[in-house]
Amino acid sequence: MWWWKMPLVRFASFVLVLSATAALAQMPPSVVVPDWALPDSPAHKQVAPPPDFHRDPVTYNKPIGVFENQTDVGAALVPGDASYDAAGNSYTITSAGYNIWYTRDEFRYLWKKMSGDVSLAATITFPDPDGFGDRKAALVIRQGLNDDSTEALVAQHGAGMVHLARREVQNTRIKDMEYRVGSRGGLPGGATPDSLVTLHAGRIGIEKKGDQFQLWISWQGEPMHPEGAPVTLHLQEPFYVGIGFTSHLAATLSAARLSNVVLENRAGRVR
């Protein structure tokens, strides 16, 4: 197919195969991952979970930093974990989980209950640079802790894509708006001067203003700015606000670090 000729597609697929293979090799031998929970790769077409599939959330009663508690939303096959470094206002979240997508989610979620408007922002890094490309750290505002909850979130992926996603109705498929940035000739690491090298966002944020949810971003250190249009989602008060991470691998742990986390109970404070 023509798109396979595109160097970026070939390279991205190659990296995905490599990293997925490496990740599967580390999977605990006793855990059985159902076929539907496998990520996309040249050997497998990713699909949605079965429509009736759910797992109850597992909450750990462990306050952390500014958050009241932690939950493994969708109870990934391997439990997650988190730690907080007050010096860097930095959270390191470890989690497995097939995805935050389709009709249900699996991820470690650090949350507090809030009402009204919200500004939430973080600088995201991935300690393992060779991790699975589709792993994602997210700033998530949810109605509940169930795996199919209505929600709005912004997420930064290991492969650099940033999106604003929302599940408008419980147990329905997520919709999103995605942003990808790269450079030809301006960043190190390209195979040729004309190769497209991914640029990873400097910082992302989400603002809740009434029923409007706006993605904020700084790609290269420019002041944080709204990116794209806001989306509309109505949540009952109180709702859950927090940060999370999923490895995008059903039974394999990976980690993300969310630093300089800003969380305020009003709009206009994303920074």
Q: Which residues bind another protein (CB under 8 A)?
A: 2-3, 5-6, 173, 175-186, 193-194, 196, 199, 212, 214, 219-223, 225-230
Least distance (Å) from another protein to the CB of residue 214?
A: 7
Cα separation, 121 vs 216, whole angstroms: 8
Alpha-carbon dihedral sign for residues 49, 52, 53, 55: positive
Q: Which is nearer to another protein, 192 or 236 (CB)?
A: 192
Query: Could you tell me the smallest distance in angstroms from the CB atom of residue 128 to another protein?
Result: 26
Closest to another protein by CB, 144 vs 182, is: 182
Q: How far is the CB of 82 from another protein (least distance, A)?
A: 29
List Cβ neighbours of 29 (8 Å cut-off, separation of 6 or more).
Answer: none
The least CB distance from residue 213 to another protein, in Å, is: 11
Q: Which is nearer to another protein, 120 or 255 (CB)?
A: 120
Minimum separation from the CB atom of position 246 to another protein (A): 17
Handedness of CA 263, 264, 268, 269 (dihedral sign): negative
Please say which residue, 62 or 180, places its beta carbon nearer to another protein: 180
N-terminal to C-terminal alpha carbon distance within the chain: 44
Lookup: tokens for 186: 């301006």
Element (H, E) at 17: helix 7-25
User: Nearer Cβ to another protein, position 24 or 267?
Assistant: 267
Between CA 26 and CA 238 the distance in angstroms is: 39
Output the six-digit token pair for 71.
């939950």
In the complex, minimum distance from the CB of residue 182 to another protein, in angstroms, rounded to a whole number: 6
Q: How far is the CB of 44 from another protein (least distance, A)?
A: 18
Which lies closer to another protein via its Cβ, residue 113 or residue 225? 225
Q: Which is nearer to another protein, 59 or 212 (CB)?
A: 212
- The token pair at 254 is 């990976």
Q: Is 11 helix (H, G, I), strand (E, B) or coil?
A: helix
Kindly list the distances between the CA atom of residue 131 and the CA atoms of 80, 134, 202, 244, in Å, as whole numbers in the listed order: 16, 9, 19, 17
DSSP per-residue string spanning 70-127? EEEET--SS--EEEEETTTTEEEEEEEES-EETTEE-EEEEEEEE-S-EEEEEEEE-S
- What CA–CA distance (Å, rounded) separates 44 from 42? 6
Closer CB to another protein, 53 or 60, in the complex: 53
Minimum CB separation of residue 79 from another protein in Å reads: 29
